[in-house]
Amino acid sequence: MEPRPKSFYVLTAFFALFMLFLYGPTITIGILSFQGEGGGLTFPMRGVSTYWFRDLFQQQAVGDIWGSFSRSIVLGLMVMVTTVTVSVMGGLAFRTRFKGSGILFYLIITALVIPSILISLGVGLLFSQTGLTVHWATSGFGAQLTWTLPFGLLIMFAVFNRFDKSYEEAARDLGASPWQTLRHVVLPIIAPALIGVALFGFTLSYDEFARTLLTAGSYNTLPLEIYGMTTNVTSPVLYALGTLTTLFSLAIIGVFLTIALIGSRRRARAGSDAGKGVL
């Protein structure tokens, strides 16, 4: 085996430092959340226990943790469904050139480069000036879509650019209607991309802070609630909340990956059965 060049070890060390910088804060919060009953917000730890996780499920002196959590879940699901639906429709629409498609594409991408706090301010002002109620389910929902929809549309543009139209032509030749072609041919083929868009939509909404800051109204989402707690809570219960939130996010990602894996196995099994039938 040939000896590795020095550059390999330099890059390895750089990558290790990058991973430490990326995950170090999360690991630190996870460790500090297991402090004893008399623990504080910094090292050294004062005992080891799960006291603060139990305390998290008790009535807190400040904040509405579980109310904000439920709002974030509902808002995330709303954004996820809308993002998937509009992204698929947009991807289908952009398969053929139409007048103004280039301008529309750049307008969609522009939402990604505008500072998030300005989006939040603009949406909040628009609702307040038009007499509409600033609420997490209306203005907050709209502000978050300006963040999730561009990602979803970019994914679907890439998917449909590589989509083989011969599958649709074969379905139409066999007598399938446009809706049947979409439902039984197009959607099953792009299902992994749909799962990816859904994951993007939910996680980006669930974690979003800046675009929700001025559009949530009187009720906080979970990121806003956590930010508010940082100025009032002086115990490791805040770290326990952060740890559970991180685990919940990882669980959501795991669920979507499992769905994608099951779907790919079913398609592989169906393809294998079809091949046996032909033989």
How many residues are listed for the chain in this entry?
279
Q: H-helix or E-strand containing 204?
A: helix 191-207
Q: Which two tokens stand for residue 180?
A: 């049947």
Half-sphere exposure of 207 (CA within 13 A, CB side): 15
Listed in sequence order, the residues at least 6 apart from 213 whose beta carbon sits closer than 8 Å to its beta carbon are 117, 120, 224
DSSP state of 98: -
Query: What is the tens place of the pLDDT at every residue in 241-255?
Result: 889 988 988 898 888
Rg of the chain's alpha carbons, rounded to an integer? 24
Q: Each residue of 193-226: b (16+ CB within 10 Å) or e? A: bbbbbbbbbbbbbbebebbbbbbbbeebbbbbbb
Q: What is the pLDDT along the chain (279 residues), one digit of tens a residue?
A: 677 888 888 999 999 999 999 999 899 999 989 988 887 777 888 888 888 888 888 776 666 888 899 999 999 999 999 999 999 999 998 888 888 888 888 888 888 888 999 999 999 999 999 989 999 999 999 999 999 999 999 999 999 988 888 888 899 888 889 899 998 889 988 988 999 899 989 999 998 999 999 999 889 999 998 888 888 777 788 888 889 988 988 898 888 888 888 877 877 776 665 556 555
Query: What is the tens place of the pLDDT at every residue in 119-153?
Result: 999 999 999 999 899 999 999 999 999 999 999 99
